[in-house]
Amino acid sequence: TQLLEQSPQFLSIQEGENLTVYCNSSSVFSSLQWYRQEPGEGPVLLVTVVTGGEVKKLKRLTFQFGDARKDSSLHITAAQPGDTGLYLCAGEGSNYKLTFGKGTLLTVNP
Amino acid sequence: NAGVTQTPKFQVLKTGQSMTLQCAQDMNHEYMSWYRQDPGMGLRLIHYSVGAGITDQGEVPNGYNVSRSTTEDFPLRLLSAAPSQTSVYFCASSYSPVGTEAFFGQGTRLTVV
């Protein structure tokens, strides 16, 4: 079973601060996805990273896929209250199934 | 464009009862899947389907059945509900299982008493 460990599990910060969320595994993934989930809703895809070492930017969000394709990070610059939510990473393994991490619950206080 | 529609949104069952959670998508996606989400556990795959007539087990399939008679629909059946099945259930669909975006429904919150 391929496992994805996310850290931290909870994060509470003030508006304007920067933060980084990590997603780590001992397994290699062919791609890795980041989702954001708001209360009462299903997860919504933010980004997919495919190539080892790849960096993608989505406005204030920067996603990085590790060179060995075993880990990823999400960095948010100048966090805003609208960034509040559960951030989930999901790795696509050799069996084509998505394996989800347990998530990082982010709260950005105004 | 409705996307992925799940019904019902909320359900309370007594132990031993059976029920079906409905999932329908209008995006002509071949790949559909069911997950359950529990506090501190993330999303765990129950069953999935790569196309009409084809289903397979995920990580936590016990106590659940699925069928895929059409591309659009992928119902999840609880055979004899147990309190351990209290959870939020999500249905998802994607164009293919490989490297494409999974679209999720809004979830069904199930409580088994």
Cis check: omega of the bond before A39, within 30 degrees of 0 = no
| Separation of alpha carbons A4 and A104, rounded Å | 12
pLDDT digits (tens, 9 = 90+) for A66-101: 999 999 999 999 999 999 999 999 998 766 678 899
- Residue (of A19, A47, A35) closest to A99 by Cα position: A35
B61 touches chain A (CB under 8 A): no
pLDDT, one tens digit per residue, over B76-95 is 999 999 999 999 999 999 98
Looking at beta carbons, which residues of chain A come within 8 Å of B99? 30-31, 48, 50, 92
CB–CB contact A42 B90 (8 Å): yes
Q: Does B98 touch chain A (CB under 8 A)?
A: yes
* Average pLDDT by stretches of 10, chain B with 113 residues: 91 97 96 93 92 93 97 97 97 82 94 98
Which candidate from A41, A45, A103 shows the least CB-CB separation from B101?
A45
Q: What is the pLDDT of residues A1-20, one digit of tens each?
A: 668 999 999 999 999 999 99
Inter-chain touch B101–A96, beta carbons under 8 Å: no
Q: Nearest by CB to A100, which of B42, B105, B106?
A: B42
Tokens representing B95 are 């164009």
Interface check B11 vs A, CB under 8 A:
no
Alpha-carbon distance of B102 to A35, in angstroms, equals: 10
Among B45, B59, B106, the residue with its CB nearest the CB of A42 is B106
- Please answer yes or no on whether A43 and B98 come within 8 Å at the CB atom: no
Structural Rg of chain A based on CA atoms: 13
| Predicted local confidence at residue A1, as pLDDT | 63
Across the interface, whether the CB atoms of A97 and B44 are under 8 A apart is answered no
Nearest residue in B to A42, CA atom: B106
For residue B107, the chain A residues in CB contact (below 8 A) are: 40-42
Q: Read off the pLDDT band of A21 (50, 70, 90).
A: very high
The count of other CB atoms within 10 Å of the CB of residue B39 is 8
Distance separating alpha carbons of residues A54 and A66, to the nearest angstrom: 7
- A100 CA to chain B: closest CA distance, Å? 6
CB atoms within 10 A of CB B78: 20
CB B45 within 8 A of CB B33: yes
Q: What is the DSSP string of A47-87?
A: EEE-STT-EEEETTEEEEE-TTSSEEEEEESS--GGG-EEE
